[in-house]
Structure 1
Amino acid sequence: MDDFQTLARAAAKAMRAVFPETPCQRNEHLSALYDADIWLKREDLSPVRSYKLRGAFNAMRKVRGAKSFVCASAGNHAQGMAYMCREFGVPGVVFMPVTTPQQKIDKTRMFGGAFIEIRLIGDYFDDTLAEAQAFCRQSGGHFLAPFDDADVIEGQATVAAEIEAQAGIPQRIVLPVGGGGLAAGVRRYFGPDMPITFVEPAGGASLTAAVEAGAPVTLNKVDSFVDGAAVARIGAAPWEVLQTTAPGDVLTAPEDRICTTMVRMLNLEGIVLEPAGALSVDALGDIVEEIRGQRVVCITSGGNFDFERLPEVRERAQRYSGVKKYLILRLPQRPGALRDFLDTLGPEDDITRFEYLKKSARNFGSVLIGIETKDARNFKGLFERMDAAGFTYRDTTNDQILSEFLI
């Protein structure tokens, strides 16, 4: 037996005194959809609704004599450390950006109770991280890294140990990648012969960049929508394990497409996934030929989803699916002009937004219109009718800059 496997199994056994294993469940809907045997490793059902609890437990149980534990996080890592501080009865200080949603602050405080102090510092995570590390140097606290730590990686590998015990050794594993702790742990546990598909958000593809460059690189820009996996640079320790990854084994998922997966899993399965937690399921459509007939385990890494974000997720899903569009319409300033436009709408077209922007000329005005339909193909007919009626318009649905300002 491999030494790393032995350590991961021992860590998994030790965890049972603190929290139960998460289920590994066969999903009938996904199995039928992709003509495969699809299982979900439900890390979204852990006590803190993510796998981060595992790495925190394993790293903290090995530290002796720390005055306190310190982390910088606005999400799952903070909640995992807070839970374990209360469990071990040791103080912890969590540094969070000032912009952290109140829901995440409240959950971290709930898990840690009296053992946790939360400090809101910095508008951006880099500033928060620098403050946390400076505090460690001054106070003698132990900095708990979210992924760039051998003991954290070992703790995340307990996911793999549980998969093996619950569902046997699958023919493929699909998992999300952020900083790389989970990816490195699963890769080390199962070894190089296990087919693994690593999935990153398109706006935070740090492993993809590292594989292309042959070394970790820092992304110039990161889209923070998939906040549980949008990391600018793969961790050094995870990279030591992942550096032999083939380019074809790393996929990127568009953020708007991830939203369609979140909505589908919520509506059809009643499973609440955060954006990072939906990555593995979202990628199945990209590897449908490779997985046909295979037993595949998707790791749903987290379910810490703030339902205040649901309107945004639904909106992005509709736009990606093509059933909702936003137009800027040049509307003549004359009686009946609006009625003429309404006459171009089909029976399944619905106006969801109508906002007069300004008069663009003496006889014309600009209007922002949101239109939702039941079938994306309906827009072809709508645009043909608008063209025939002589309307001037611009489809701004995929214009990111205009969307940020207007929608």
Structure 2
Amino acid sequence: MQLTLADIYSAAKVIRGVADGTPLVPSPFMSARSGADFLLKLENMQPIGAFKLRGALNAVAGVTEARGVTCCSTGNHGRGVAYAAGQRGIRAVICMSELVPQAKVDGIRALGGEVHIAGRSQDDAQAESRRLAREEGLFEISPFDDPLVIAGQGTIGLEILSARPDITTLLVPLSGGGLAAGVALAAKAINPQIRLIGISMDRGAAMYESIRAGKPVEVEEIPSLADSLGGGIGMENRLSFPLCRDLLDEIVLVSEDEIYHAMQVLYYEDRIVAEGACVVGMAAVLSGRIKLDGPTATIVTGRNLDMPTFTRVVTGQHVQLGDITVKGKPYAA
């Protein structure tokens, strides 16, 4: 399927009044540090606490004949699908790996979604979701490789450029590519000169490794402060991989130490509680990996984080992530 700007405008009509119109606010600290207007698109203010509601609402609205819906998720897509299915009064079964924080599992159940825990990777969870679709007649909604999901996420790009048409750079957290593909498609269609940069963690970045290889590849899923960016892109990826490959101008990777510091910055300077995945764009700028040449926006993708881990970060304590320890330090600008 060839996605176009018209599909994103159609998605904007579907989600209107439920998942649109999140604030776009300046970050005085990041503006001063980067030398350019720096804006935060607050998708953490969505009803489910994450941008994934946009794509989920658009995709579930397109389901006509099924006993319910299913998906694999690292957390936020599952919340979105459970919320959207609840609005429709249909069953939602969310498949997740053992690596997903318990807070995200609990959040999905609170929205009425059923949770199936399968294996230790997003690929294992996806296999379970496909089994449910095949054996129980559920409609599977990919977290990133679905045209309606991508179009829904692309509405963020529409809103940013409607509010600030002078934006020269968009910094987009990059995982399976649904967000980056949708936002890049919208932004490049409106302004072909705009710079789109995808940012991920430097361990287990599936889209980055796939674009380097020229095809979808499997990566080991590793614990990260940016846990929402974990997981593969699917070996049969049809949409988000080619869109990210063709539309992203650059991909930048940041370390766990840099994510840790950026989480502190967002909390202490902007007073925002948000997931590690939200701050990778800030981390790339603060570390000097990205230089800005004009007004810039990044997406604060969600707030559904593990609060004990967040507390350790903002109070400067060590955080254990699998086989590595991120050494804590008190916040200092």
Question: In which range does the TM-score fall when normalised by the shorter chain?
Answer: 0.7 to 0.9
**Distance (Å, rounded) in 2 between the aligned partners of 1:289 and 1:262:** 17
Q: What are the superposed Cα offsets for residues 126-180 of structure 1, whole Å, 9 maximum, x if unpaired? A: 3332222112101111011100111111111011111122222411111110000
Q: Residue 13 of structure 1 aligns with which residue?
A: 13
Counterpart of 2:31? 31
Q: Deviations over 1:307-352 (max 9, x none)?
A: 11135433358xxxxxx97xxxxxxxxxxxxxxxxxxxxxxxxxxx
| Residue aligning to 1:180 | 177
Q: Runs of at least 4 residues of structure 1 off by over 4 A?
A: 286-289, 372-375
Counterpart CA distance in 1 for 2:66 and 2:256 is 40
- In structure 2, the residue matched to 1:43 is 43
Query: Do the aligned partners of 1:75 and 1:104 also contact (CA within 8 Å) in 2?
Result: yes
Q: Which residue of 2 aligns with 1:141?
A: 138
| CA distance in structure 1 between the partners assigned to 2:330 and 2:107 by the alignment | 38
Distance 2:221 2:115 in 1: 28
* Paired residue secondary structure (2:128): helix
Number of aligned residues = 318
2:330 and 2:259 map into 1 onto residues whose CA distance is: 21
| Structure 1 pair 226–236 and aligned structure 2 pair: CA distance change class (3 A) | farther
Partner SS for 1:146? coil
User: In the alignment, residue 265 of structure 2 is paired with which amino acid?
Assistant: R
Shift of 1:277: 0.9
Normalising to structure 2: TM-score of the pair?
0.86
- Give CA-to-partner distance per residue, 1:329-377, whole Å, 9 cap, x none: xxxxxxxxxxxxxxxxxxxxxxxxxxxxxxxxxxxxxxxxx9x7999xx
* 1:194–1:316 CA distance, 2 compared to 1 (3 A): farther
> 237, 240, 262: which one pairs with 1:238?
240
Other-structure match for 2:60: 60
**In the TM superposition, what is the alpha-carbon distance from 1:243 to its structure 2 partner?**
2.1
Counterpart secondary structure, 2:159 = helix
Asked whether the equivalents of residues 73 and 95 of structure 1 are also in contact (C-alpha less than 8 Å), the reply is: yes
Corresponding residue for 2:157? Answer: 160
Conserved 8 A contact 1:203-1:230: no
1:17–1:66: structure 2 CA closer, same or farther, 3 Å change rule?
Answer: farther
Q: Offset of 1:3 from its aligned partner?
A: 7.7
Q: 1:374 to 1:288 in 2, by over 3 A?
A: closer
Q: Is the 8 A contact 1:280 1:300 kept in 2?
A: no
- Which structure's CA Rg is the greater one? 1
Q: Structure 1's 197 and 130: CA in aligned 2 closer, same or farther, altered over 3 A?
A: same
Q: Does 1:189 align with 2:186?
A: yes
> Secondary structure of 1:157's match?
helix
Equivalent position amino acid for 1:147 in 2 = F
How many angstroms does 1:223 deviate by? 4.1
Kept in 1, the 8 Å contact 2:199–2:281? The answer is yes
Change (3 A) 1:290 1:64: same
SS at match of 1:69: strand
Between 299-308 and 134-143, report the one with greater CA deviation: 299-308
Pairing 1:183-262 to 2, within 5 Å after superposition: 183-191=180-188, 192-220=192-220, 222-233=222-233, 235-244=237-246, 249-262=250-263
Q: Does the C-alpha gap of structure 1 residues 28 and 179 become closer, same or farther in structure 2, counting only changes over 3 Å?
A: same
The structure with higher relative contact order (CA 8 Å, sep 6+) is: 2
Q: What's the Cα RMSD here?
A: 2.7
Partner of 1:75: 75
Alpha-carbon distance in structure 1 between the residues aligned to 2:129 and 2:281: 31
Structure 2, unpaired ranges of 5+: 320-325
Query: Aligned residue for 1:404?
Result: none
CA distance in 1, matches of 2:256, 2:82: 29
Which residue does the alignment assign to 2:268?
A: 267
Matched letter for residue 64 of structure 2: R
Distance, in Å, in 1 between the alignment partners of 2:284 and 2:120 is 32
Gaps in structure 1 of 5+ consecutive residues:
318-323, 326-369, 376-407
